[in-house]
Structure 1
């Protein structure tokens, strides 16, 4: 019996050492930029490494709230501000480099995961906290997540109107227990801390799911209370589950665990979908390419948002804010200063005809500039709604021309040059000859617009 205990302890320590070494190696590769943050999940999958998971604390009282969701996610659209805090050493340096491009990718990942369930995120910027003591977060003891949030508030760094996401150098169980954790979140709440290596993995979505009052799909599996075990995570379409790892997953992203010896509540736990954002972190199933929420989870999130107005109302914003750039000055001639956050499918359409698309950008692209006389359409929000029409000011014109073909497009034409005053006054429109005319306008910022029209006899 003593030998068995020692052998078991040795195996446990060996596994922990292997995991720690693998995580240190990943940190080194990120530091040396041999692996990029967005490649972390691929790196772990290739090497069949078990990712770090998060830690969830729950109580009977909390678990039994919101048993029956009262809000359907299809009936309401909600937008939340999100702000990031990068935790650095005293000198402003950090081992794993993080820049705004990484943070914008993190926001894009959140929108990619939540938009289908009518939850959207508006990027409101990021700040840096240069304090070595605060760059490490412990689950218990000192330097806890709650202490970090309190510190940010005391120092005037906390954003009361946003979800606050902290990016830590590491998150550990305690000062004496160096096992790493991928992330932590208030539930319900508006604060998250994520281990920097996992910023661009499914971890961030998982933690924000906790913010919106989602539990792990295996929340109550070992509660010792059969009522809670059957209740599980309080969502009808997520069957009771247990923690599992990558080796338990079949090729179709279901776990086949069979009958468990520790199950004493008559629950057959097998064939559990492993690609849920709130399941154990396993690959390749619970990665950004495959993970999903269920409709029941979506309804629970919206119900929680409505049930806790004191928590969520201060960090809400409007749908209209999504149609505004996250940075840039509309009065500046340099339109490249105008940038929209990536993560959406954008169309810049004619202000007078929302079917006339002037420019398109996919979810992986960052729209730069906003063409004159166009409005913004975000397909994830609406296939028809447009907002933020940008009209050309009178001092924006450089010049232009009218090419007149007559009633036949036969290669014969006349050209009339236009100056800025002609365009601003639009008097050239009254002087157009009968027939086909191609009107081209050039703006000082380099944008050109061209349109072919036909003028009939009066």
Structure 2
């Protein structure tokens, strides 16, 4: 019933920070973005289940969340924006949500359905709860429910993952730290689109969910004589970005409620026409293919991961200056921390072992390193991110591509440091976190076998040893003359045997 709305975005609100004056000039050349400081935002996921704990028959996996993080990073990293995966939690929906449906019905009593309308079913409860979020009652109440129940982190972008929804995605607002993406949309342009709203971007067509012709077609801020062009309003109308063309909408709805794109051709190019006009009756003359495929547009069948330079500057401005976003910022060092697992403190280590795993979406090089580390106690783990007093080479022991699908491979081998190639500014392009562990398993006990006849036979005396006695540096000196087998047992249960013959002194 709702397939036609499956790709549509719904914004729940707009932050007061969305239209405040901006720090950056959005018409700067985008080539200087790679030289700017990287911005890293925390991301936390919430799996939203039905009231009975089910998940719509879908096999929910952490790998799908990691794939979402990978795709977000692959797209946004070129704009020096990064996302740190902070894990997920599963929560169960309430069982008393009233039942509403978004239905294509007849509103003018001619027996022909003509509009999408929210329909209430009094006295009935929604069996899906928030597991399948409707765009009527559910959407207007969900974010408040999540917040009041402690299902929102103020220091992270919160992505809520129900198994279904009557829309493609829904950000809590332009400049906000919450968004809804059903499981099937985690690795699609819907994800980059909704995160775009979170970090400061309007739809290119309007500030809200509808359509707008308020942005004028002209891109000329000044007239040929140098005077201000009074028809120019691109900096403040609709998406507040000058280098995205004005447009009212690309998506229309036909008589059956289906999405159509009458002025977009099969190559995702705009078809100029005299029907679509701005509020001062000017046809749109500046729309290009890049506007049609823009991540924040509504030509949903054409959307790709493209943003204009102006949109990029707007995002970076809002991330750094709007508290709902600046509160989610974390350090670059966090990307060099595993999201799961731990470092063995000695080798060989106990088996099985969950090695440190790093989030996908980056081009990793784990290069040879050697660290004396006399001035720092690592406890057998890697050195801190800030510590660079170690030697490394260009020899890669492990190379991981940003599109690597087997996430279990993205681990940190011993005697290597980490390079993330997406960081190409000098201060960030050096190898970090050298892991150079030469520790052996601790000796926890053992035994001393004395061959009473001073030859190898069964006439022996066995004396068990605890950790203190077997590790005593004077152990051999304190033995009586004779033939011995000294057995040391490490924490893995392995034995180290040393045969000695101590002569009379």
Q: Which TM-score tier does this pair reach, normalised by the shorter chain? A: 0.5 to 0.7
Give the 3-state SS of the residue equivalent to 2:188 in structure 1. coil
Query: Is contact 2:213-2:247 (8 Å) kept?
Result: no
- 1:176 corresponds in structure 2 to none
1:325 equivalent among 334, 338, 341? 338
Query: Is contact 1:161-1:315 (8 Å) kept?
Result: yes
Give the 3-state SS of the residue equivalent to 2:339 in structure 1. coil
2:398 equivalent among 349, 359, 383? 359
1:370 equivalent among 412, 435, 439? 412
- The structure where helix makes up a greater share of residues is 1
Stretches of structure 1 that go unaligned for 5 or more consecutive residues are: 1-16, 24-48, 173-179, 398-443, 446-458
**Rounded Cα–Cα distance in structure 2 between residues aligned with 1:88 and 1:57:** 21
Query: Is contact 1:241-1:269 (8 Å) kept?
Result: yes
Label 1:203 to 1:228 Cα distance change in 2 as closer, same or farther (>3 A): farther
Give the 3-state SS of the residue equivalent to 2:138 in structure 1. coil
Deviation at 1:225, TM superposition (A): 7.5
Q: How does 1:137-216 map to 2 (within 5 A)?
A: 137-140=133-136, 142-144=137-139, 147-172=141-166, 180-216=167-203
1:338 equivalent among 344, 356, 365? 356
Deviation at 1:393, TM superposition (A): 3.2
**Rounded Cα–Cα distance in structure 1 between residues aligned with 2:264 and 2:42:** 36
Label 1:50 to 1:94 Cα distance change in 2 as closer, same or farther (>3 A): closer
**Rounded Cα–Cα distance in structure 2 between residues aligned with 1:393 and 1:91:** 51
1:80 equivalent among 36, 41, 64? 41
Deviation at 1:336, TM superposition (A): 4.8
1:122 equivalent among 76, 80, 84? 84
Deviation at 1:119, TM superposition (A): 0.5
Q: How does 1:3-402 map to 2 (within 5 A)?
A: 20=2, 23=3, 52-56=7-11, 64-66=19-21, 69=24, 73-74=33-34, 75-95=36-56, 96-131=58-93, 132-140=128-136, 142-144=137-139, 147-172=141-166, 180-219=167-206, 222=212, 230=234, 231-245=237-251, 247=261, 248-270=263-285, 271-272=287-288, 273=290, 274-283=292-301, 285-287=302-304, 291-308=305-322, 310-331=323-344, 333=349, 334=352, 336-351=354-369, 352-365=391-404, 366=407, 367-382=409-424, 384-395=429-440
Deviation at 1:76, TM superposition (A): 2.0
Query: Is contact 2:243-2:308 (8 Å) kept?
Result: yes
Give the 3-state SS of the residue equivalent to 1:337 in structure 2. coil
Label 1:337 to 1:218 Cα distance change in 2 as closer, same or farther (>3 A): same
**Rounded Cα–Cα distance in structure 2 between residues aligned with 1:208 and 1:278:** 10
Query: Is contact 2:50-2:92 (8 Å) kept?
Result: yes
Deviation at 1:123, TM superposition (A): 0.5
Listed one character per residue, the Cα deviations across residues 275-326 of structure 1 (whole Å, up to 9, x for unaligned) are: 211011422x314xxx211111110001112221x21232211111111211
Give the 3-state SS of the residue equivalent to 2:10 in structure 1. coil
Query: Structure 1 length as normaliser, TM-score?
Result: 0.66
Listed one character per residue, the Cα deviations across residues 61-80 of structure 1 (whole Å, up to 9, x for unaligned) are: 87643466258744221101
Deviation at 1:386, TM superposition (A): 1.6
**Rounded Cα–Cα distance in structure 2 between residues aligned with 1:60 and 1:100:** 31
Stretches of structure 2 that go unaligned for 5 or more consecutive residues are: 27-31, 94-127, 217-230, 252-259, 370-390, 443-490, 493-505
Listed one character per residue, the Cα deviations across residues 397-426 of structure 1 (whole Å, up to 9, x for unaligned) are: 9xxxxxxxxxxxxxxxxxxxxxxxxxxxxx
Label 1:66 to 1:253 Cα distance change in 2 as closer, same or farther (>3 A): farther
Give the 3-state SS of the residue equivalent to 1:143 in structure 2. helix
Label 1:255 to 1:276 Cα distance change in 2 as closer, same or farther (>3 A): same
Query: Is contact 2:48-2:92 (8 Å) kept?
Result: yes
The structure with the largest alpha-carbon Rg is 2
**Rounded Cα–Cα distance in structure 2 between residues aligned with 1:73 and 1:189:** 23
Query: Is contact 1:88-1:94 (8 Å) kept?
Result: yes
Query: Is contact 2:157-2:328 (8 Å) kept?
Result: yes
